[in-house]
């Protein structure tokens, strides 16, 4: 069965520290998509990144980077030099196009609450 | 360009009452989704529309739930005979997709339902 596990419920860091949010997934399919979303205190989920299962290249966008490893079924997210504005709940999600999950049916993890203190 | 808007933002009701939530997606978006999020959990998919057609429904969407998108623009989610277990944040999202979804959904701020 498909599942997304975010083992870290809450993380607290001091500004400028680097922090990594872990995501482990389970899927039946060889073709799938992985996502990270950010949910700030206002509640509105914001799309951060989408990755397909055939692309294991790491990606960097400013202070954000993502490490996708199929061998360990992990898709981890690192924030470098964290800032107070990074405080939010971060969700990892999975979509499986070959099992009816192709149309916006994202399977979310429980999220990791990140608190960045000044 | 305005984002996805949801109304009301918070609804308190007594068990057994009916409630309706409205979602106005981003205007050029053809797909609209409803998700439910309970405290400490990630969002769970409920249903989605492409234009006015409801194309997929989760098993979570019991017979007491009905969603519509009559003109392919705004959508309503109605819950009949509410139960305490319905207490949750109801999230609406929209996207512009044809065929396989990119998964880049634009979410509203949600409508929080509290059933007493």
DSSP code, position B28: T
Q: How far is CA B103 from the centre of its chain?
A: 16
Tokens 């916006």, located at residue: A104
Task: Extract the tokens encoding A8.
Answer: 């870290």
B85 three-class SS: helix
Q: From A92, which residue of chain B is nearest by alpha-carbon distance? A: B42
Q: Is B39 exposed, middle or buried (0-12, 13-18, 19+ CB in 10 A)?
A: exposed
Burial A54-71 (b: 16+ CB within 10 A, else e): eeeeeeeeeebbbbbeee
* Cβ-defined contact of B107 to A33 (cutoff 8 Å): no
In SS3 terms, chain A reads as: CCEEECCCCEEEEECCCCEEECCEEECCCCCCEEEEEEECCCCCCEEEEEEECCCCCCEEECCEEEEEEHHHCEEEEEECCCCHHHCEEEEEEEECHHHCCCCCCCEECCCEEEEEEC
The closest of B4, B40, B25, B18 to B86, measured between CA atoms, is B18
* Cβ-defined contact of B110 to A103 (cutoff 8 Å): no
Residues of chain B found within 8 Å of residue A49, distances taken between Cβ atoms: none
**Alpha carbon separation from B89 to B67, B112, B114 (Å, rounded):** 16, 4, 9
pLDDT tens digits for A25-54? 999 888 888 999 999 988 899 999 999 888
Say yes or no: A94 contacts chain B, CB-CB below 8 A.
no
Please give chain B's pLDDT, 116 residues, in tens.
Answer: 579 999 999 999 999 999 999 999 999 899 999 999 999 999 999 998 989 999 888 888 899 999 999 988 999 999 999 999 999 999 999 988 766 666 789 999 999 999 99
pLDDT of residue A28: 84
Distance from CA of B64 to the nearest CA of A (A): 21
Q: Can you tell me the distance from the alpha carbon of B32 to that of B22, in angstroms, rounded to the nearest whole number?
A: 12
Q: Residue A86: what are its φ and ψ, rounded to 5°? A: -80, -10
């Amino acid at each position: 069965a498909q599942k997304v596990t975010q083992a870290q419920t809450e993380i607290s860091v001091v500004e400028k520290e680097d922090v990594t949010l872990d995501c482990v997934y389970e899927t039946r399919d060889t073709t799938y998509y992985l996502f990270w979303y950010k949910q700030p205190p206002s509640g509105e989920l914001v799309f951060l990144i989408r990755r397909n299962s055939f692309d294991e290249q790491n990606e960097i966008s400013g202070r954000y980077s993502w490490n996708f490893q199929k061998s360990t079924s992990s898709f981890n997210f690192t924030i470098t030099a964290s800032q107070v504005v990074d405080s939010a709940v971060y969700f990892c999600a999975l979509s499986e196009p070959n099992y009816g999950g192709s149309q916006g049916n994202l399977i979310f993890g429980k999220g990791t609450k990140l608190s960045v203190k000044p | 360009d305005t984002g996805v808007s949801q109304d009301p933002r918070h609804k308190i009701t007594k068990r057994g009452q009916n409630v309706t939530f409205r979602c106005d997606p981003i205007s050029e978006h053809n797909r609209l989704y409803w998700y439910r999020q309970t405290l400490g959990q990630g969002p769970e998919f409920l249903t989605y529309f492409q234009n006015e057609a409801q194309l997929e429904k989760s098993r979570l969407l019991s017979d007491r739930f009905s969603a519509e998108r009559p003109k392919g623009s705004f959508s309503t989610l109605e819950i009949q005979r509410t139960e305490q277990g319905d207490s949750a944040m109801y999230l609406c999202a929209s996207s512009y997709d044809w065929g396989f979804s990119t998964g880049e959904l634009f979410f509203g701020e949600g409508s929080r339902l509290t059933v007493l």
